[in-house]
């Protein structure tokens, strides 16, 4: 793996992680939940299921 491929992976990861971090934090969950998105295949599904079917802590107040 060369430097260009490594930089590509880092840039794409950051571009996915930042919006997910903001969405998760605005719903009231711990923003570190968004790190699961970086796990291939299952990570984004876990985050989507938590957001879709979980009770949002923001709505509890």
7-55 per-position pLDDT tens digit: 999 999 999 999 999 999 999 999 999 999 999 999 999 999 999 999 8
**Alpha carbon separation from 46 to 37, 56, 61 (Å, rounded):** 8, 15, 25
- Count structural domains, the chain: 1
User: Is 29 within a domain?
Assistant: yes
What pTM did the predictor assign? 0.83
Task: State the sign of the Cα–Cα–Cα–Cα dihedral 25, 28, 32, 36.
Answer: negative
Task: Tell me, yes or no, whether 59 lies in a domain.
Answer: no
Domain that holds residue 42: 13-53
> Which of the four pLDDT bands, split at 50, 70 and 90, describes residue 61?
low
């Amino acid at each position: 793996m060369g430097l260009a491929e490594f930089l590509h992976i880092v840039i794409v990861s950051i571009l996915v992680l930042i919006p997910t971090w903001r969405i998760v934090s605005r719903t009231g969950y711990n923003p570190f939940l968004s790190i699961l998105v970086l796990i291939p295949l299952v990570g984004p599904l876990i985050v989507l299921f938590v957001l879709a079917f979980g009770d949002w802590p923001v709505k509890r107040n």
